[in-house]
Copies of this chain bind each other. A is one copy, B any other.
Amino acid sequence: MGVSLKDIAERAGVSLATVSNVVNGYRPVGERTRQRVQAAIDELGYTPNLSARHLRRGRTGLIALAIPELTNPYFAELAEVAIHEAGRLGYTLVMENTAADHEAESKLLNGSQRHVIDGLILSPVRVGREEVLARAADTPLVLIGEGVHDVPHDHIAIDNVAASRLAIRHLVESGRRRIAFVGAGRGDDRHSAHLRVRGYREALAEAGLAYRAELVAVTARFGRRDGVHAMRQLLALDEPPDAVLGYNDLIAIGALRAAVDAGRGVPEDVAVVGIDDIEEGRFSTPTLTTIAPAKEEIARLAVRRLVARIEGAEVTGPLTVQTPFRLIARESTTGAPGRAGT
Contacts and interface: CB of A to CB of B under 8 A. Distances in A.
Contacts of A254: 283, 340
A92 interface: yes
Given A73-B71, A224-B283, A261-B340, A55 B49 contact: yes
Contact of A76 (B50, B60, B76, B111): B76
A296 interface: no
Given A225-B341, A285-B257, A83 B97 contact: yes
B83 A77 contact: no
Contacts of A209: none
Interface in A93-138: 93-97, 111-112, 114-116, 136
Contacts of A94: 92-95
A292 interface: no
Q: Which residue among A47, A50, A58 has the maximum number of chain B CB atoms within 10 Å of its CB?
A: A50
Chain A contact patch, size range: 35 or more
B84 A97 contact: yes
A341 B48 contact: no
Q: Which residue among A60, A71, A261 has the maximum number of chain B CB atoms within 10 Å of its CB?
A: A71
A79 B73 CA distance: 13
A71 B82 CA distance: 13
Given A71-B80, A253-B283, A283-B224, A48 B115 contact: yes
A339 interface: yes
Contact of A257 (B114, B115, B224, B283): B283
Interface string A69-91: 11101001101100110000000
Interface of A: 1-2, 45, 47-52, 54-55, 58, 60, 69-71, 73, 76-77, 79-80, 83-84, 92-97, 111-112, 114-116, 136, 223-225, 228, 253-254, 256-258, 260-261, 279-280, 282-285, 337, 339-341
10 contacts: A47-B111, A50-B116, A51-B54, A52-B55, A70-B76, A92-B116, A93-B95, A223-B279, A224-B282, A257-B285
